[in-house]
Structure 1
Amino acid sequence: MGPTRRKRRLGRYMKAVRQQASPELKPEQVADLAQTTRQTVTRMEAGAALPRIHLFAAILNVIGATDEQRAQATRLWEIADADTTTIEHGDLPLKYRAFRMDESEAIRERTLNTVVVPGMLQIPAYAAAIWSAARNRIQHLDYEERAVAERRDRQSLLYREENPLQLHSLIDEAALRRMIGGPAVMIEQLDHLLAMSARPTVTIQVLPFEIGAYDAMSGPVTLLGFPEDDEPDTAYLEYVFGGESVEDVDAVAALTAIWEELADTAPTAEESAAIIRSIRDAVRAR
């Protein structure tokens, strides 16, 4: 497996801990004391490899990590170890937490949603209605409440004081006309979209019925962009029972091309706001 963002994050953290806690120790000395090879240590710090957990714990001992540093490093190792698995969304599984961590470090998020409003733009009542509909599949009694809280936590990225997340969402008209939660909830949700679209860091475009079929209609797509010049964009694809992070450069490029073509085809943000108002007014008139 080639380097991934989560392995690189872990590697940067481990290198920083080593240089802070034991600045006199070089990678080859760490390797000798941990009874491994220099290549293993340097590849870990470069984000190119992930040592087994017992060796990882030995390296932490050798470099003199504090309890707090050890706990953070272990969390990062667990997330990196989950790099190629798919997830189930129940109870914020490891892979989804990995996506959330990536999202928290991103400066740009582009979404394509064909069935529901993207999570970043959902109001609590709308999110609750979605999770309520999944109650037969999800066994946790309090999951609806916890899922709504998780949505709120994600959305805080749009309001952070420094470098708020730049969000550009493409939303199919079908998602705006689906009466999730009933008319009152939909009116509030559509009003929220209009309010959010007025923010300088949020762009919303509607994909109207008139454009017909388009690629990637099968499910939600999220594209994340990061501040580092050497960090490529990543993607996250959602399914009924979970999701999958995509870091393959060619696959992400293909998804990006699809998104950009749709953004070019869709009505402008101003025209899209007018469409949203029209749908809202039609719901009110019922």
Structure 2
Amino acid sequence: MAIGTTRSKRRLGKYIAPILKRSGFSPDDVAREVRCSKQSVYRLMSGDSLPRLHLLLAILSAIDVTEDERARALKLWDIADADKTVVQFADELPDRYMRFRLDEADAVRERSLDRIIVPGLLQTIEYAAELNRSTRQLLRRDGWEERAVSERRDRQEMVLRKEDPLHIHALIDETALRRIIGSRGVMIDQLDHLIEMTRKPNVTIQVLPLDLCAPGPYSGTMILLSYPESDEPDSVYVESMAGGETIGDDAVVATLSKVWDDIAAAAPTPQKSTKIIKAVRGEHAEQ
């Protein structure tokens, strides 16, 4: 029984939770009824682990599910059991970031807000390398500086793949375009890359100009992920110097989604944003 949360495991736990509540049983009651550890039930409910099929069937019988509910739970178990998402350098990634990477791999749309740097999915190799060199004191272990660039490229494949690429809509503060990461040459190449990426049908970029007083966080990164299932709510990942965290609270996610929408509505259009990128690129070239 592998332990480690994934979105598919959490979907199963989330589905069973109201049925368990309806039954009048507590997780401890269920554990005694089916003769398993309390941890097994709690991990099922939290999505931290996937129980073996025979244990799930015993739990479903104990909480008196309907035939339709049993069929739905088994389908969700099958999906979770078949989830073989591979993330490069998974053993070296912080747990919270690893959870985000697995969620991102399931997503069909990603909306982001970056005030400080160019978002990871749109970074060039040189920009990412310089960024990692400048933050080496935060790296987890020796040698990760070099592997971090490969991890970033692995992540970017979701946007570049030909079949069902991830759709991204990035809001980038103009200060991120002006901030020198590495050298002006690195920045010129990075801005050229952004201009090239705007030509892709699955990529939308809006720049938040310096004179735009928009709501939302003024540090770190905020990423909203949307999933293919119509009944699956969005999730939000926020990142700061202290690390990242996935927010699953529906009310908080709705609020942050509204904030993102308001900023996007106030920002220049993608076409005007491309002109801003070209103008900043020209200023870098003139220096």
Aligned positions of 1:175-194 closer than 5 A? 175-194=176-195
Instruction: State which drifts further: 266-275 or 212-221.
Output: 212-221
Amino acid at match of 1:124: I
**Would the aligned equivalents of 1:124 and 1:148 in 2 still touch at CA under 8 Å?**
yes
Aligned positions of 1:36-47 closer than 5 A? 36=36
**Would the aligned equivalents of 2:220 and 2:241 in 1 still touch at CA under 8 Å?**
no
Corresponding position of 1:117: 118
Match of 1:5 among 7, 10, 18: 7
**Would the aligned equivalents of 1:123 and 1:189 in 2 still touch at CA under 8 Å?**
yes
Amino acid at match of 1:267: P
Q: Secondary structure at the match of 1:215?
A: coil
**Would the aligned equivalents of 1:170 and 1:263 in 2 still touch at CA under 8 Å?**
yes
Q: TM-score, normalised by structure 2?
A: 0.73
**Would the aligned equivalents of 1:173 and 1:209 in 2 still touch at CA under 8 Å?**
yes
Corresponding position of 2:282: 281
Amino acid at match of 1:93: P
**Would the aligned equivalents of 1:222 and 1:235 in 2 still touch at CA under 8 Å?**
yes
Aligned positions of 1:89-108 closer than 5 A? 91-108=92-109
Residues 6 and 246 (structure 1 numbering): CA distance in 2 closer, same or farther, change over 3 Å? farther
Aligned positions of 1:1-286 closer than 5 A? 5-8=7-10, 35-36=35-36, 48-49=45-46, 59=55, 91-138=92-139, 140-212=141-213, 214-286=215-287
The Cα offsets for residues 59-101 of structure 1, whole Å up to 9 and x where unpaired, read as 49x9xxxxxxxxx96x99xxxxxxxxxxxx9931222111111
Q: Secondary structure at the match of 1:136?
A: helix
Amino acid at match of 1:284: A
Q: Secondary structure at the match of 2:171?
A: strand
Return the offset for 1:144: 1.4
Residues 142 and 232 (structure 1 numbering): CA distance in 2 closer, same or farther, change over 3 Å? same
> Aligned partners of 1:51, 1:102: CA distance in 2, in Å?
14
Q: TM-score, normalised by structure 1?
A: 0.73
> Aligned partners of 1:163, 1:260: CA distance in 2, in Å?
24
Residues 51 and 143 (structure 1 numbering): CA distance in 2 closer, same or farther, change over 3 Å? closer
> Aligned partners of 2:258, 2:130: CA distance in 1, in Å?
33
Q: Secondary structure at the match of 2:104?
A: helix
The Cα offsets for residues 208-246 of structure 1, whole Å up to 9 and x where unpaired, read as 011135322132100000000010000000010310000
> Aligned partners of 1:51, 1:193: CA distance in 2, in Å?
37
Unaligned ranges ≥5, structure 2: 15-30, 59-79, 85-89
Q: Secondary structure at the match of 2:138?
A: coil
Amino acid at match of 2:7: R
The Cα offsets for residues 119-158 of structure 1, whole Å up to 9 and x where unpaired, read as 0000011111111111233253311111111110110001
**Would the aligned equivalents of 1:4 and 1:48 in 2 still touch at CA under 8 Å?**
no
Count residues with an aligned counterpart: 238
> Aligned partners of 1:263, 1:52: CA distance in 2, in Å?
37
Q: Percent of pairs identical after alignment?
A: 43
Return the offset for 1:49: 4.7
> Aligned partners of 2:48, 2:158: CA distance in 1, in Å?
32
Amino acid at match of 2:103: D
**Would the aligned equivalents of 1:34 and 1:58 in 2 still touch at CA under 8 Å?**
no
Unaligned ranges ≥5, structure 1: 13-30, 63-71, 77-88
Amino acid at match of 2:251: D
Residues 280 and 143 (structure 1 numbering): CA distance in 2 closer, same or farther, change over 3 Å? same
Return the offset for 1:48: 3.8
**Would the aligned equivalents of 1:5 and 1:231 in 2 still touch at CA under 8 Å?**
no
**Would the aligned equivalents of 1:216 and 1:258 in 2 still touch at CA under 8 Å?**
no
Corresponding position of 1:15: none
Q: CA RMSD in A?
A: 3.4
